[in-house]
Structure 1
Amino acid sequence: MQAELDISQNKALLWLMAIACGLCAGANYYCQPLVHSIQQYFHVPESQVALTVTFAQVSYALGLLFIVPIGDIVNKTKFIPLLMSFAALGLLLCAFAVNLPMLWIGTIIAGLFSVAAQVLIPLATMAVKPEKTGEVVGFLMSGLLVGLLLSTSLAGLLSDLFHWKVIYAVSAIFMFILAFLLSTRLPTVTTFKMSYHRIFQSMVQLIVEEKRLVFRSLIGGFAFAAMSILFSTIAVLLTSKPFELPDVMVGVATLIGVFGALSTTKIGKIADQGYTNSLTWIGIAILALSWGFLYFGGTSLISYILGYGIISLGLAIVHSSNQNIIFRLRPDAKSRINSIYMTTYFTGGACGSALGIYAWHHGGWTMSCIVGLSLVIGSAFFAVLDRLFLNKTQTTQ
Structure 2
Amino acid sequence: MDLKTKTLLAVICAVAVATVYAAQPMLAEIGSDLGVPTDALGWLVAAGQLGYLIGLIALVPLGDRFDRRRLIALHLGLVGIGMVAVAVTPTAWLAYSGLAFSGLFAVVVQTTVAYAAAVSTPAERGRTLGFVTSGVVVGILGSRLMAGVLTDIWGWRSVYVVLAVLAVMLGTVALLALPSDVRPPTRRYTELVRGLGHLLTDPAFVSRGVIAFFLFASFGTLWSGMALPLASAPWHLTETQIGLFGLAGLTGALGAVRAGHWADGGKANRVTGLALLALVASWGLIAQLSWSLALVVVGVVVLDFAVQAAHVSNQHILTALHPDRVATTIGGYMIFYSLGSAVGAATTTLVFSTSGWTGSAMLGAAFAAAGFVAWALGIPAVRRARRGGCEPVRASR
1:302 paired with 2:285, answer no
From 228, 233, 240, give the equivalent of 2:225. Answer: 233
One-letter identity of the residue aligned with 1:118:
Q
Give the 3 Å change call, closer, same or farther, for CA 171–22 of structure 1 in structure 2: same
1:388 paired with 2:380, answer yes
Measure, in 2, the Cα distance between the counterparts of 1:395 and 1:352: 35
Measure, in 2, the Cα distance between the counterparts of 1:393 and 1:40: 51
Conservation of the 8 A alpha-carbon contact between 2:38 and 2:349: no
From 187, 195, 200, give the equivalent of 2:193. Answer: 200
Measure, in 1, the Cα distance between the counterparts of 2:222 and 2:367: 13
Per-residue CA deviations over 1:268-316 (Å, capped at 9, x if unaligned) read 0111110112211220111011010011123322222221111101101
From 282, 286, 302, give the equivalent of 2:274. Answer: 282
What is the CA distance between 1:64 and its match in structure 2? 1.3
Give the 3 Å change call, closer, same or farther, for CA 97–272 of structure 1 in structure 2: same
Give the 3 Å change call, closer, same or farther, for CA 15–394 of structure 1 in structure 2: closer
TM norm structure 2: 0.94
Measure, in 2, the Cα distance between the counterparts of 1:193 and 1:92: 37
Measure, in 1, the Cα distance between the counterparts of 2:388 and 2:125: 28
Measure, in 2, the Cα distance between the counterparts of 1:180 and 1:282: 40
From 290, 299, 320, give the equivalent of 2:312. Answer: 320
Per-residue CA deviations over 1:61-120 (Å, capped at 9, x if unaligned) read 221121111111112121110001000000011111112112111111111101111101
Measure, in 1, the Cα distance between the counterparts of 2:25 and 2:301: 17
1:338 paired with 2:321, answer no
One-letter identity of the residue aligned with 1:386:
G
Conservation of the 8 A alpha-carbon contact between 1:146 and 1:262: no
Measure, in 1, the Cα distance between the counterparts of 2:315 and 2:385: 20
Task: Tell me which residue corresponds to 1:5.
Answer: none
One-letter identity of the residue aligned with 2:196:
M
From 114, 129, 132, give the equivalent of 2:124. Answer: 132
One-letter identity of the residue aligned with 1:356:
T
* Aligned residues with identical type, % of pairs: 27
Conservation of the 8 A alpha-carbon contact between 2:254 and 2:305: no
Give the 3 Å change call, closer, same or farther, for CA 252–333 of structure 1 in structure 2: same
TM norm structure 1: 0.94
Give the 3 Å change call, closer, same or farther, for CA 114–344 of structure 1 in structure 2: same
From 231, 249, 252, give the equivalent of 2:244. Answer: 252
Task: Tell me which residue corresponds to 2:11.
Answer: 19
One-letter identity of the residue aligned with 2:188:
S
Give the 3 Å change call, closer, same or farther, for CA 298–64 of structure 1 in structure 2: farther
Task: Tell me which residue corresponds to 1:38.
Answer: 30
For residue 332 of structure 1, give the secondary structure of its aligned residue in structure 2. coil
1:88 paired with 2:80, answer yes
For residue 263 of structure 1, give the secondary structure of its aligned residue in structure 2. helix
For residue 90 of structure 2, give the secondary structure of its aligned residue in structure 1. coil
For residue 328 of structure 1, give the secondary structure of its aligned residue in structure 2. helix
Conservation of the 8 A alpha-carbon contact between 1:58 and 1:347: yes
Structure 2 gaps, min length 5: 390-397
Task: Tell me which residue corresponds to 1:221.
Answer: 213
Per-residue CA deviations over 1:297-342 (Å, capped at 9, x if unaligned) read 2332222222111110110111011011001111111111011100
From 191, 212, 216, give the equivalent of 2:204. Answer: 212
Structure 1 gaps, min length 5: 1-7
Aligned residues: 388
Give the 3 Å change call, closer, same or farther, for CA 288–139 of structure 1 in structure 2: same
What is the CA distance between 1:394 and its match in structure 2? 6.1
CA RMSD between the two structures: 1.6
